[in-house]
Structure 1
Amino acid sequence: MYTTITKQTTEGNYAQSVADFVAYLEKENESKSIDEMEHFFNQYGEEISSQEVIKEIDGNTAKLKKTEPKFYSITLNPSSRELKHIQDSSEALKQYTREVMKEYAKSFNREINGRAVTVDDIKYYAKIEHQRTFKGTDKQIVENQPYATKILQLKNDIRKIEAGEAKGNIERLKLKIAKLEKQAPHQQNGKRIVRGMPKAGSQSHIHIIVSRKDMSNKYSLSPGSKYKASETVFNGKPVKRGFDRDKFFKASEKTFDTLFQYERNYVETYTARKTFLKNPKLYFSMLSGLPTNEKATAYRILGKAGVPIMNIPTNKVQLALKVINKFKKGIDRAVQSGSIGI
């Protein structure tokens, strides 16, 4: 499970309305029938309209400045292995989201009227998406780009010939294009992978729009706080503050495992990812020390995610910076594409 929390910005400025983001999340419904559409939902409601989401989020920003985020985006990205475990069920993903948002509330070191923050204080709307498309920064697009450039040039040449602006053999140019299409290193279902192409396999994930202000529109609840858990003095009174992201990310993972009886492998854990980033030697030591069955599963998960398992270091001599960096690139790509839940 790969979970993110981000502020919504446009060209470096905080969005003053959630309308554009809502429109972006509605794009997947455009070509679907009413029965196939995924609607917004929250802790207690179903089939919530986009108009209601915009009205409620935009109307819940009392006393927030233009230089402050009005809302945050949380994404819950299950791995293909996790999705397979729950049979890619939308109902299971909704159930999971609602449990995760309880953990989100618990991660605030805040009090409202002398009590801890609960999910009933959180104004949020969530939506499930079942597709991901290839972006310009994806490895497949980057490595296919030289072929795409040549193909585009050949197509331009054909158009010039057809318009009488140049001379040449159109059929020969078409054969060259067909050859380049097949030579491109990254293919999907027999076609060259291009920007905007839907990714194959289970790609379901959840987008959550969460208001910066609580349900009463009085209290600011920022998951972007730089404080984990501390106290300060405001108007002469001690005030709790902070949001513990580590606690939330770990709880999100544990919630999935408990809810669906999922047996998580070490390489799928948030702890493993943090260990790799902070102490690669310890990560590889933990990986090589796993029981035989768990280690085999770990290597299989990493291999399916495109991580270069043949280069996993097994001793101190092999722990060269070059090897670690190559492994790190594989991990990063896997995480960003949702291939591995860490």
Structure 2
Amino acid sequence: MHINISAQKLESTYTGSVRDYVTYLEKEEKTIGPEARKGFFNLDTDGIPSERVIAEIDGNTAKLKKKDPRFYSIVVSPSQRELKHIRNDKQLLKQYTRKLMEAYAHNFNRNQRIQVSDIMFFAKIEDKRTFRGFERQVLGNAPYHKEIVKLKNDMAKIARGEIQGNLRRIQAKIDALDKQAPYRAQGKRIVSGMEKPGLQTHVHIIVSRKDIQGKHILSPLSKYRASEVVLNGKPIKRGFDRNAFLESAEKTFDTVTGYNRNYVETYTGRKALLNDPKAFYQKILGLPKGEKAIALKLLKTLGTRMPVPLAAIGPLKDPIKSVKKGLSKTLRSAAIEY
């Protein structure tokens, strides 16, 4: 499970309106008729049209400064292992999303507890993902891709009569380079923009910066976890506990779906790996036999193996560096390959 929270982009990519982002989220439905489109959903309604999403998010921005984000994006990306467990059930994923937003609401630190009914949000489930430029498969194939592009440009110049050369020989070089590229998907060399194979279902959630009554500002990216200030002589609570929210997100998924989460898949485990690798591996060694076998298998998907013996973890920096690097890139791509 990977969850990413980001603020509305305020440079040239997006305007003050949520319209551009809503349009982007409808990309998978552009090729089907209006009657087949599933629309967005919120706490209690399905099939919400995009125009309603735009009107309500854009209409809930009173007293926000010009440079303040009007909304936040939350991307919920279950791992392939989690998706297999729920058999890629979109209704179950929708049920989980609604429960997730309860945890989101409860992790705001306010004088009066925030309820999920106070949160204005709209969510959409998508099935597809593409490889992006920073992912290890694209980076691993980059030298081959660069040379192939150069050779194809040479072929085009030969065809236009700008240079001389043997087209068959160049094509043979291209074919050889294509086969040598280390990362492939469904028999094809992986390049940026290629659709990812397997289960890639994920959820995009648009959350208004203000509560549904338009009275309070709610920022999940607040630099405060839980603090208090005095305003006009009254103590005011503020902040958002992102750590607690991410832990709640996993526990909620496990409760809703009956998923048995391995230590390697937990937010606690991922933090331990990044901050204290030795303690992380010690924890794995202490797992029951079956859980340990699963943990090692999951680690392998990140491109590393368990450093053995454990006592040698100190000098064995490369395996730890490798797994941390693999985990970091996997999390950035929001495509955990469990």
Partner of 2:16: 16
- Contact kept? 1:187, 1:193, Cα under 8 Å: yes
Q: Single out whichever of 278-287 and 171-180 deviates more from structure 2.
A: 171-180
Summarize the Cα distance change of 1:258–1:341 in structure 2 as closer, same or farther, 3 Å threshold.
farther
SS in 2 for 1:210: strand
Question: Matches of residues 1-342 of structure 1 in structure 2 within 5 Å?
Answer: 1-11=1-11, 16-32=16-32, 37-111=37-111, 115-303=112-300, 305-309=301-305, 311-320=306-315, 321-340=317-336
- C-alpha displacement at 1:26, in angstroms? 1.2
Tell me the distance in 2 between the aligned counterparts of 1:211 and 1:126: 12
- Contact kept? 1:14, 1:69, Cα under 8 Å: no
Tell me the distance in 2 between the aligned counterparts of 1:335 and 1:341: 10
Tell me the distance in 2 between the aligned counterparts of 1:262 and 1:288: 22
Instruction: Give the AA of the match of 2:319.
Output: V
Summarize the Cα distance change of 1:33–1:223 in structure 2 as closer, same or farther, 3 Å threshold.
same
Instruction: Give the AA of the match of 1:43.
Output: L
- Contact kept? 1:133, 1:199, Cα under 8 Å: yes
SS in 2 for 1:9: coil
Tell me the distance in 2 between the aligned counterparts of 1:197 and 1:211: 32
- C-alpha displacement at 1:166, in angstroms? 2.1
- Contact kept? 1:102, 1:118, Cα under 8 Å: yes
- C-alpha displacement at 1:58, in angstroms? 1.2
Q: When the two structures are superposed, what TM-score results if normalisation uses the length of structure 2?
A: 0.93
Tell me the alpha carbon deviations over residues 136-178 of structure 1, each in whole angstroms, 9 at most, x when there is no partner: 1111111211111221122112212221222222222222222
Summarize the Cα distance change of 1:49–1:13 in structure 2 as closer, same or farther, 3 Å threshold.
closer
- C-alpha displacement at 1:54, in angstroms? 1.4
- C-alpha displacement at 1:317, in angstroms? 2.5
Q: Single out whichever of 169-178 and 131-140 deviates more from structure 2.
A: 169-178
Tell me the distance in 2 between the aligned counterparts of 1:34 and 1:13: 27
Summarize the Cα distance change of 1:36–1:329 in structure 2 as closer, same or farther, 3 Å threshold.
farther
**Percent same amino acid among aligned pairs?**
49
Tell me the distance in 1 between the aligned counterparts of 2:32 and 2:302: 32
Runs of 5+ in structure 1 lacking a partner?
A: none
Tell me the distance in 2 between the aligned counterparts of 1:166 and 1:151: 17
Summarize the Cα distance change of 1:341–1:208 in structure 2 as closer, same or farther, 3 Å threshold.
farther
RMSD: 2.0
- C-alpha displacement at 1:227, in angstroms? 1.6
SS in 1 for 2:102: helix
Tell me the alpha carbon deviations over residues 93-118 of structure 1, each in whole angstroms, 9 at most, x when there is no partner: 1100000001111111114xxx4211
Give the total of aligned pairs.
337
- Contact kept? 2:40, 2:48, Cα under 8 Å: yes
SS in 2 for 1:6: strand
Summarize the Cα distance change of 1:287–1:142 in structure 2 as closer, same or farther, 3 Å threshold.
same
SS in 2 for 1:202: coil
Instruction: Give the AA of the match of 1:308.
Output: T
- Contact kept? 2:3, 2:76, Cα under 8 Å: yes
- C-alpha displacement at 1:339, in angstroms? 4.7
Summarize the Cα distance change of 1:341–1:97 in structure 2 as closer, same or farther, 3 Å threshold.
farther
Runs of 5+ in structure 2 lacking a partner?
A: none
Instruction: Give the AA of the match of 1:288.
Output: L
- Contact kept? 1:15, 1:70, Cα under 8 Å: no
- C-alpha displacement at 1:279, in angstroms? 1.6
- C-alpha displacement at 1:258, in angstroms? 0.7
- C-alpha displacement at 1:70, in angstroms? 1.4
Tell me the alpha carbon deviations over residues 20-53 of structure 1, each in whole angstroms, 9 at most, x when there is no partner: 2112211122234557644211111111122221
